[in-house]
Structure 1
């Protein structure tokens, strides 16, 4: 049924539909209604004297909405101009034709989630990808609109490349990116503090608000943990899982205190290229592109008297 629906939309709109953005745009009213409910719950808890985080700052909420809108426009544009054509070309050279039916849809979704895990992990441990993903982590509060805090640079840095193995194997691109959109839509609902711990079996298998709050923490034990989107099992298998066991300090280690959408989008990308441009051996200059975000050149470490971070 899913494949027939996707084929019908392609027949109406052409082969180059950006399914991820179509689904997320369609979900926008639901996202806003859910945030309104969250806001009311937070107000009621505060009025009742319950211990709670401060209410979301409206300036930050407006920034999140602006970042979400600019992300949508950029994703549509890059897909129309570049990535959509590349994805179709890869699919035309696929190795197999993977059927999409009731028996295969769950394994395909798990494969999409597996690709997302490695994209998300790379977005924290490779500076090139972190230069886009840093936007999402730059808010110092957690509410549903934090999920909308996305970067205009994602398509430029190449998030979609992580899903190309599935397309090359023969999963139709529309199916891959429709399921990825469902993955991202689920993730909207884990960006909140109004939901506590869920049943232990659910916390063990799935990403939850508790698991994802830890992911957004800059507390030392929380940094670079819990990369899963819908599932948390890959974090458990690959040693990147951490449980939320103390209050989360949200934000990034080098916090950018700005509500300017352009500044939030490009600050780390510009810093990365400034580091590349600094004089020094070419290999060390280029390493700023693929090393972890905290990596420093040996000469910089020696001059500062610090120990060299592990990479």
Structure 2
């Protein structure tokens, strides 16, 4: 029965792409072919934090998953595994991420964990990997509880969130400028997320989106 809920680990599968993209961006910036900035120690710090985040996720992430799996027995519905369930799960989890991200900037306990992501003085693809190792202890995974109770299996939620995280990787760059108007209207893009990472007072606490900006 549980075999039907065995989905690929999207973010882990994307790691080779992450590394290749960072190296390509680094080459483009260092050779003057693209806009951006890299500093060796800063980049290495981001990569080490990203590695630690993956390890922490493997060791501690199971705790939050098991908690949600326990909650699954109290669900009101079982929505199954149709394509529309995955689409709905993705959209609702993207909204859940927006709520989490807003909390992460407004609640000090959660900001203490999230601030690490904003600690770099540079904005490049390696910055996307600059993640904390202590996310479990913010207990923000409980924001996924309503989705589980509504009938989305925890494995489905984890699967669709992987795509959200992969999307958020490529928007951490200065190499890509503003994109097509319709695309900027619907999706979170590098130009939107640059505003989110800006330190100018007028831009603080803006654009909390994950994948969708609307």
Give the TM-score taking structure 2 as reference length.
0.93
Asked whether the 8 Å contact 2:94–2:164 carries over to 1, the reply is yes
- Unmatched 5+ stretches in structure 2: none
> Which residues of 2 match residues 47-86 of structure 1 at below 5 A?
52-53=35-36, 55-80=37-62, 82-86=63-67
2:6 to 4, 9, 12: 9
User: In the TM superposition, what is the alpha-carbon distance from 1:107 to its structure 2 partner?
Assistant: 2.1
> Which residues of 2 match residues 36-47 of structure 1 at below 5 A?
36-45=23-32
> Which residues of 2 match residues 1-311 of structure 1 at below 5 A?
7=4, 9=6, 22-45=9-32, 52-53=35-36, 55-80=37-62, 82-233=63-214
| Residues 228 and 5 of structure 1: CA distance in aligned 2, closer, same or farther (over 3 Å) | farther
Q: Which has the higher contact order (CA 8 A, sep 6+)?
A: 2
Between the aligned partners of 1:56 and 1:159, the Cα distance in structure 2 is: 32
CA deviation vs aligned residue, 1:53-85 (integer Å, no higher than 9, x gap): 4x30111111011101111111221233x3222
Between the aligned partners of 2:136 and 2:65, the Cα distance in structure 1 is: 11
Asked whether the 8 Å contact 1:6–1:175 carries over to 2, the reply is no
| Residues 181 and 164 of structure 1: CA distance in aligned 2, closer, same or farther (over 3 Å) | same
CA RMSD between the two structures: 1.9
User: In the TM superposition, what is the alpha-carbon distance from 1:23 to its structure 2 partner?
Assistant: 2.5
Q: How many residues align?
A: 214
Moved over 6 A (4+): none
CA deviation vs aligned residue, 1:233-281 (integer Å, no higher than 9, x gap): 1xxxxxxxxxxxxxxxxxxxxxxxxxxxxxxxxxxxxxxxxxxxxxxxx
| Residues 6 and 200 of structure 1: CA distance in aligned 2, closer, same or farther (over 3 Å) | farther
Q: Which structure is higher in helix share?
A: 2
User: In the TM superposition, what is the alpha-carbon distance from 1:25 to its structure 2 partner?
Assistant: 2.2
Give the TM-score taking structure 1 as reference length.
0.65
Asked whether the 8 Å contact 1:142–1:193 carries over to 2, the reply is yes
User: In the TM superposition, what is the alpha-carbon distance from 1:5 to its structure 2 partner?
Assistant: 11
